[in-house]
């Protein structure tokens, strides 16, 4: 149908504006243009637009953004232009009411169709760059890639999928990713999906797969990290996140990812045929569960056995499934195998996420996970370890299976990237040695200065060391800031990291963004650290994305998976600040001398009150019986949880004091163990203060005698010095000092009082080392922070804790 000049201009404008509504959250519009049935059935109300007002042209952005449909009905005369296009744009216009083009004018051009197509053409090559697709698709790389792949495989036509529903599903999954995660966001999902696509294209796999397996594999890759909170499983357990309770501390994240995926599939209504849906869901679940990196050894040895014995038969469904599991695992950790430019970007992002977790742990007074401690480890060190112990063993086997150009390319890139990071480690060590030598000189000076003073004054003896190493002077330049992140200088001296503006710390490529965030996170942390002597609850809230993992909408969706048709409700739970457990409250009440931020925050909370609240919450949680769905484990767990809840939640819980204390209170225990009644004064006391101004208890006196001796011994033995990055080595206190030094150790992670982990030889050992502090915490049965898991588990059958990632 021919359109008048005005109409074509208007339609052009509105067509472009429609990109906005499809940008985030309005899943259907993008795909409506493909003409699904629902769209074509729409009542034609083209009459709301007329062709007679010139001023409408200038006002279009305003009309589109501000005027609602009713107003427009009144304003406009019947239009002479009718037809499909106008029908569509009227529907879209509704959605646009809430958007402001003036605020987001740039979005008009954000979907660059030509460029998107160009990048999508590369989606079968290993050099594919998900970041580029993200840029040219206006931040929508995941659904754009997925729709493309579903077309490439002919899945839409084979399964007769509704195009709008398909788009909707991908949008829902995309929204399920936390865009504020540096690493676990929808770009990572797109990257893994593309890697999976590359693997599925290999003849050893492609020739044997059934369409349903292809669809399940792609969907599993797309959704494999859905709703990832940006922290690992041990963190969720330690902070008693509701998901840890829900999934019984076992593959918590993976369990959550697959359930989130299935809930989206159900809600999108994409797979209407029950039989297909059930099959797909089952496969997705098994594939996503296999991505639990702590289970790598298990899968790898199984795969190895087949390869060693040459018994892998791709005509066998189970064998095929194992290969798909391995493929997804490889895809998930394939970023080290990408070309250096892309790989480096992922490395920075994943480490940034780790370091953020470390910052949260520090803020929460939890032991800082070794891998996440920006003060004691570095990006190159993390990368070399991960590449060597986790990626290489898996990709080597994968190459043994594929034996083709793709796998050879992956291994080649991996080796190259590993060499790069190793060279940075070498430079880092050289830098460190230089710094240590110069700082050791300073320490010598300090010691000389101290030599005339009373050596028995342990606090003063500690002061110069702690001052220099733990409270470094605020950096001024970027170089210094980066140095303190333990990243070798030359990583950033690379032209890619050149700074355009000193103040803005802008880089020539986006990769510096992550470094900037590190810098900003770090400086933020430092700022708050120094600003708050006493942590308040609000300040403890580290990040909304973690605090509120599972948004109300997602929770509603998940309920359909967890308890289909039941009244069971997964509620959004505020994880931070941790809730007080009954036992914790009891312990606090029984020690009125101790003050904590929790006490300050909840002064009126008493045991019974809290128990009731908790009971109410749990009753809500377990209310109603349910139909068994495909998630039987949860059904089983419900009754167990309910039972154990009855057993454990009693107002006067007899839990031991140690069990009930938080890490924070352990610090207080340490202090009280040496009866430092005036500990705060002691910590602040300066040399100038006369010694006899404080009356020491016998224990404290003893400590004051022992500490200098131990310190002297420690300082004279270089071996005992922990290697701190970029500052004077701080003494590692022997076990006798544990009580006191844990104050500094836990807070500042100066390897304080920890055993030196043994040599690393396997993936498991590396992972164990990486999450060392968490393991230590688990092994010592240090108290978990308050909230659900503590109450709901029967201590006699405490579930096995999986160290995840
Ligand atoms: N380049 C990397 N360096 C260190 N760890 C990584 C890297 N890439 C992936 N990982 C970890 O490996 C895990 C694989 O599963 P996830 O994607 O859930 O989370 C990933 C990270 O924790
Ligand atoms: Zn992942």
Which of the 8 DSSP states describes residue 246? H
Give mean pLDDT, residues 362-386.
97
Which of the 8 DSSP states describes residue 731? E
Report the alpha-carbon angle 101-165-36, nearest 5.
85
225 CA distance to ligand 2 middle (Å): 5
Give mean pLDDT, residues 556-568.
56
Most ligand 1 atoms within 8 A of CB, residue of 184, 192, 289, 350 to mutate: 350
Q: Indicate the burial class of 18 (C-beta count within 10 angstroms; 0-12, 13-18, 19 or more).
A: buried
For ligand 1, is residue 336 a contact (CB within 6 Å)?
yes
Which among 389, 451, 445 is positioned nearest to 418, based on CA atoms?
389
pLDDT band with cut points at 50, 70 and 90 for residue 371: very high
Q: What is the pLDDT of residue 561?
A: 67
529 CA distance to ligand 1 middle (Å): 29
Query: CA 231 to CA 193: how far, in whole Å?
Result: 22
Which uninterrupted H or E stretch holds 669? helix 663-673
Q: What is the pLDDT of residues 5-44, one digit of tens each?
A: 544 544 444 444 434 334 443 333 333 333 333 322 323 3
Query: CA 265 to CA 166: how far, in whole Å?
Result: 9
Query: CA 32 to CA 182: how far, in whole Å?
Result: 32
SS3 722: strand
Q: Could you give the C-alpha distances from 50 to 4, 10, 57, 94, 757, in angstroms and in order?
A: 11, 11, 11, 17, 76
Most confident listed range (287-296, 459-468, 657-666): 287-296
- The bound ligand whose nearest atom lies closest to the alpha carbon of 191 is 2
Most ligand 1 atoms within 8 A of CB, residue of 222, 231, 330, 333 to mutate: 333
Query: CA 31 to CA 366: how far, in whole Å?
Result: 47
Which among 49, 180, 67 is positioned nearest to 545, based on CA atoms?
180
Helical ranges in 290-404 per DSSP H = 296-309, 317-332, 340-363, 379-386, 392-402
Query: CA 681 to CA 480: how far, in whole Å?
Result: 34
Q: What is the pLDDT of residue 336?
A: 98
For ligand 1, is residue 251 a contact (CB within 6 Å)?
no
149 CA distance to ligand 1 middle (Å): 24
Pair of tokens at residue 321? 């499934």
Residue nearest atom 16 of ligand 1, based on CA coordinates: 332
186 is in an annotated binding site: yes
Q: What is the pLDDT of residue 11?
A: 47
Widest Cα–Cα separation across the chain? 99
Which uninterrupted H or E stretch holds 721? strand 721-722
SS3 138: coil
The yes-or-no verdict on residue 227 having pLDDT over 90 is yes
* Positive or negative torsion for Cα 188, 189, 190, 196: positive
- Give the ipTM: 0.99
For ligand 1, is residue 350 a contact (CB within 6 Å)?
yes
44 is in an annotated binding site: no
SS3 730: strand
Any idea how long the chain is?
Answer: 805
- From first CA to last CA, the distance across the chain in angstroms is 59
Q: What is the pLDDT of residues 478-515, one digit of tens each?
A: 333 333 333 333 333 333 333 333 333 333 333 333 33
Give mean pLDDT, residues 263-274.
96
Query: CA 794 to CA 177: how far, in whole Å?
Result: 33
Nearest atom, ligand 1, residue 232 CA: 22
Helix/strand/coil percentages in the chain, nearest 5 = 65, 0, 35
Location of structure tokens 């594939």: 287
494 is in an annotated binding site: no
Sorted by sequence, the CB contacts under 8 Å of residue 242 that are 6+ apart come out as: 550, 570, 571, 573, 575, 787, 788
Q: Could you give the C-alpha distances from 728 to 43, 443, 469, in angstroms and in order?
A: 75, 7, 6
Most ligand 1 atoms within 8 A of CB, residue of 346, 353, 386, 410 to mutate: 386
Contact 210, 324 (CB under 8 A): no
Plot region of 749 (φ>0 → left; ψ -120 to 50 → alpha; else → beta): left
Q: What is the pLDDT of residue 434?
A: 81
Domain spans of the chain?
Answer: 5-108, 428-529
224 is in an annotated binding site: yes
Give mean pLDDT, residues 414-430.
97
Q: How many CA atoms lie within 13 A of 75 on its CB side?
A: 14
302 is in an annotated binding site: no
The pTM score is: 0.56
For ligand 1, is residue 383 a contact (CB within 6 Å)?
yes
Residue nearest atom 2 of ligand 1, based on CA coordinates: 347
Residue nearest atom 9 of ligand 1, based on CA coordinates: 333
Nearest atom, ligand 1, residue 346 CA: 1
131 CA distance to ligand 2 middle (Å): 16
User: How many helices and strands in the chain, by DSSP H and E?
Assistant: 43, 2
Instruction: Give the rounded percent of residues in the chain with a pLDDT score beyond 90.
Output: 39
186 CA distance to ligand 2 middle (Å): 10
Could you give the residue numbers annotated as active site? 184
* Paired residues of 730 in beta bridges: 722
Nearest atom, ligand 1, residue 228 CA: 18
Which among 557, 553, 24, 552 is positioned nearest to 260, based on CA atoms?
557
Q: What is the pLDDT of residue 327?
A: 98
Higher-confidence residue: 189 or 601? 189
Compute the CA torsion angle 605, 607, 608, 613 (nearest 10 deg): 60
Sorted by sequence, the CB contacts under 8 Å of residue 34 that are 6+ apart come out as: 163, 164
Nearest atom, ligand 1, residue 192 CA: 17
For ligand 1, is residue 85 a contact (CB within 6 Å)?
no
280 CA distance to ligand 2 middle (Å): 20
* Paired residues of 721 in beta bridges: 731
pLDDT band with cut points at 50, 70 and 90 for residue 127: very high
Pair of tokens at residue 644? 């154990």
Q: Could you give the C-alpha distances from 424 to 44, 445, 485, 518, 519, in angstroms and in order?
A: 64, 31, 13, 18, 19
């Amino acid at each position: 149908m021919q359109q008048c000049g005005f109409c074509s201009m208007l339609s052009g404008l509105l067509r472009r504006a429609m990109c906005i509504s499809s940008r985030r959250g309005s899943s259907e519009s993008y795909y409506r243009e493909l003409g699904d049935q629902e769209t074509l059935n729409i009542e034609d109300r083209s009459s709301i637009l007329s062709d007679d007002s010139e001023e409408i042209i200038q006002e279009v952005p305003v009309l589109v953004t501000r005027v609602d449909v009713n107003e427009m009905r009144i304003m406009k005369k019947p239009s002479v232009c009718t037809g499909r296009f106008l029908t569509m744009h009227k529907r879209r216009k509704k959605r646009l009411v809430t958007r402001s083009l003036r605020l987001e004018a740039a979005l008009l051009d954000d979907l660059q169709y030509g460029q998107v197509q160009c990048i999508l053409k590369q989606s079968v090559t290993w050099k594919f760059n998900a970041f580029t697709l993200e840029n040219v698709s206006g931040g929508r790389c995941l659904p754009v890639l997925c729709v493309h792949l579903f077309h490439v495989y002919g899945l839409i036509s084979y399964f007769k999928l509704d195009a709008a529903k398909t788009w909707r599903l991908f949008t829902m999954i995309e929204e399920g990713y936390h865009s504020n995660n540096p690493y676990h966001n929808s770009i990572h999902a797109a990257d893994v999906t593309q890697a999976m696509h590359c693997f599925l294209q290999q003849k050893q796999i492609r020739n044997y797969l059934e369409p349903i397996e292809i669809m399940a594999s792609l969907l599993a890759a797309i959704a494999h990290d859905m709703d990832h909170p940006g922290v690992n499983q041990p963190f969720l357990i330690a902070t008693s996140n509701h998901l840890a309770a829900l999934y019984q501390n076992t593959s918590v994240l993976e369990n959550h990812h697959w359930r989130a995926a299935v809930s989206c599939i159900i809600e999108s209504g994409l797979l209407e045929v029950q039989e297909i849906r059930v099959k797909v869901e089952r496969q997705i679940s098994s594939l996503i569960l296999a991505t639990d990196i702590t289970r790598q050894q298990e899968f790898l040895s199984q795969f190895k056995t087949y390869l060693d014995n040459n018994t892998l038969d791709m005509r066998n469904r189970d064998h095929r499934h194992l290969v798909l599991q391995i493929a997804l695992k490889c895809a998930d950790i394939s970023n080290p195998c990408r070309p250096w430019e892309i790989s480096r970007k992922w490395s920075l992002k994943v480490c940034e996420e780790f370091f953020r977790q470390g910052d949260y742990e520090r803020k929460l007074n939890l032991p800082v996970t070794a891998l996440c401690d920006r003060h004691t480890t570095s990006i190159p060190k993390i990368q070399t370890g991960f590449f060597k112990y986790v990626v290489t063993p898996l990709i080597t086997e994968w190459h043994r299976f594929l034996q083709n150009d793709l796998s050879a390319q992956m291994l080649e890139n991996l080796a190259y990237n590993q060499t790069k990071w190793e060279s940075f480690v070498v430079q880092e060590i050289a830098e460190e040695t230089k710094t240590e030598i110069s700082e050791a000189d300073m320490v010598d000076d300090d010691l000389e200065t101290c030599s005339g003073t009373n050596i028995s004054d342990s606090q003063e003896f500690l002061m110069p060391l702690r001052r220099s190493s733990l409270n470094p002077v605020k950096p001024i330049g970027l170089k210094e800031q980066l140095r303190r992140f333990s990243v070798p200088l030359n990583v950033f001296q690379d032209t890619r990291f050149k700074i355009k503006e000193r103040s803005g710390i802008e880089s020539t490529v986006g990769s510096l963004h992550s470094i900037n965030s590190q810098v900003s996170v770090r400086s933020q942390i430092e700022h708050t650290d120094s600003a708050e002597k006493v942590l308040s609850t609000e300040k403890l809230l580290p990040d909304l994305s973690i605090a509120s993992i599972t948004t109300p909408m997602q929770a509603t969706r998940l309920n359909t998976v967890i308890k289909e048709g039941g009244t069971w409700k997964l509620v959004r739970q505020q994880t931070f600040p941790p809730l007080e457990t009954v036992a914790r409250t009891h312990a606090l009440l029984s020690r009125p001398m101790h003050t904590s931020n929790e006490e300050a925050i909840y002064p009126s909370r008493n045991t019974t009150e809290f128990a009731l609240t908790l009971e109410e919450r749990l009753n809500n949680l377990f209310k109603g019986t349910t139909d068994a769905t495909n998630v039987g484990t949860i059904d089983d767990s419900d009754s167990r949880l309910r039972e154990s809840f009855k057993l454990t939640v009693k107002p006067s819980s007899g839990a031991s004091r140690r069990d009930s204390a938080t890490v924070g209170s352990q610090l207080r225990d340490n202090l009280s163990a040496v009866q430092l009644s005036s500990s705060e004064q002691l910590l602040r006391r300066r040399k100038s203060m006369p010694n006899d101004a404080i009356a020491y208890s016998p224990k404290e006196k003893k400590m004051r005698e022992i500490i200098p001796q131990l310190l002297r011994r420690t300082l004279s033995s270089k071996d005992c010095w922990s290697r701190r990055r970029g500052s004077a080595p701080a003494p590692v206190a022997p076990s006798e000092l544990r009580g006191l030094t844990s104050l500094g150790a836990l807070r500042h992670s100066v390897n304080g009082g920890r055993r030196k982990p043994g040599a690393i030889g396997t993936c498991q050992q590396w992972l164990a080392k990486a999450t060392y502090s968490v393991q230590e915490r688990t092994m010592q049965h240090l108290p978990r922070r308050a909230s659900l898991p503590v109450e709901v588990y029967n201590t006699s059958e405490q579930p096995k804790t999986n160290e995840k990632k």
